[in-house]
Amino acid sequence: MAEQILFYLFAVIAIISALSAVTRKNPVVSAVWLVSCMCSLAVIYVLLEAYFLAAVQVIVYAGAVLMLFVFVIMLLNLRTGIIGQFRNLGLKFMGLVLTVIILRQFYTAFKGTSLILGNAGGLEPGFGEARAVGELLFTRYVYPLELISILLLVAIVGALVLAGKESS
């Protein structure tokens, strides 16, 4: 029961934060709302017994990714004058209509599906902990792991090529 209450509480916080994040004028405020959204998702991850991922969510998303956002916003010194507003009203309305349609689509898809997956015997002990994640990561998922290392290399090189100091 406590699980249910916590879930509802943080689901509501996540939705409110997400809505605020995409509607605020000032990107810094948006970023802070997004942090709140990510952290409430981390709580839900804990409820779902994804302990390691909850930690990563806080450290990587709330900690690194959004810090980087805030850092760039500050670096560019965005003043209100050059901060973009919404697009015109027509597009806003279209966005709203589209949102409702897509959401309805999702809802009917979920409703028409029996979502009983094979989890009769409960979760194994240690499910979602760092050990279980690590074991899989270095056995079955070793190929994607190697690939991700190249992807991160691309990101580093890319950031340097694009934003690094001009060397003439």
**Residue ranges in 69-108 that form contacts with another protein under rule CB under 8 A:** 69, 72-73, 75-76, 78, 82-87, 91-92, 94-96, 98-99, 102-103, 105-108
Instruction: Tell me the C-alpha distance between 31 and 60, whole Å.
Output: 14
Phi and psi for 23 in degrees, rounded to 5? -110, -10
Subset of 26-65 contacting another protein (CB under 8 A)? 27, 30-31, 34, 37-38, 41, 44-45, 47-50, 52-53, 56-57, 60-61, 64-65
Q: Please tell me the count of residues contacting another protein according to CB under 8 A.
A: 104
The 122-161 contact track toward another protein, x by CB under 8 A, reads xxx--xx---xx--xx-xxxxxx--xx-xxxxxxxxxxxx
With the C-alpha atoms ordered 37, 39, 43, 48, is the resulting torsion angle positive or negative?
positive
Among 1, 2, 80, 113, binds another protein (CB under 8 A): 113
CA distance 103 to 16: 17
Secondary structure element (H or E) that encloses residue 32, with its range: helix 27-47
Which residue in 1, 2, 13, 167 binds another protein (CB under 8 A)?
Answer: 167
Chain mean position to CA 92: 24
